[in-house]
Amino acid sequence: MTAQRLAAALAATCMVTAAAAASEPLAGDRLNDLVSGKRIFLSTPFGGEFPLFYKPNGAVTGDGTKLGLGRFFAPTETGRWWVDGKRLCQKWPTWYKGQTSCFTITPTGPGRIGWTRDDGTSGKARIEG
């Protein structure tokens, strides 16, 4: 095998390995580090984004004012977030009737994630540091 072919084979192996690792849900410290101190913008079916700010102290603030969600519920609310193994969990005072919701988070590319809520609902988001 020539040096060029060997280099190409190694590069392809690295790309496949990186893609496989990127498609696995995050857990523990890796999941915590991904969201702590970051704004995550959920893609919405309304054609906009719903921002969530995950503060390092465990508070999470959501703001749907730009999407006009104030006519349906409190447009801005602050709840709590935490990592439970392979799940990112959050609880809001009134949103989702105050029930805890947990998500699996899977990296899909640089600054991009896919999420699946414990009820099977899923979507995409981008992360801003």
Establish if 12 belongs to a structural domain: no
Instruction: Tell me the residue range of the domain where 82 lies.
Output: 25-128
Establish if 2 belongs to a structural domain: no
Those residues whose C-beta lies under 8 Å from the C-beta of residue 75, and which sit 6 or more positions away, are: 63, 64, 65, 69
pLDDT at 21: 47
Q: What does the alpha-carbon distance between residue 85 and residue 32 come to, in Å, rounded to a whole number? A: 10
What total number of domains does the chain contain? 1
**Which CATH number does the domain housing residue 68 bear?**
2.40.128
Establish if 100 belongs to a structural domain: yes
pTM, entire model = 0.77
Establish if 17 belongs to a structural domain: no
Establish if 45 belongs to a structural domain: yes
Q: For 31-35, 67-71, 102-106, which range has the lowest pLDDT when averaged over its residues?
A: 67-71
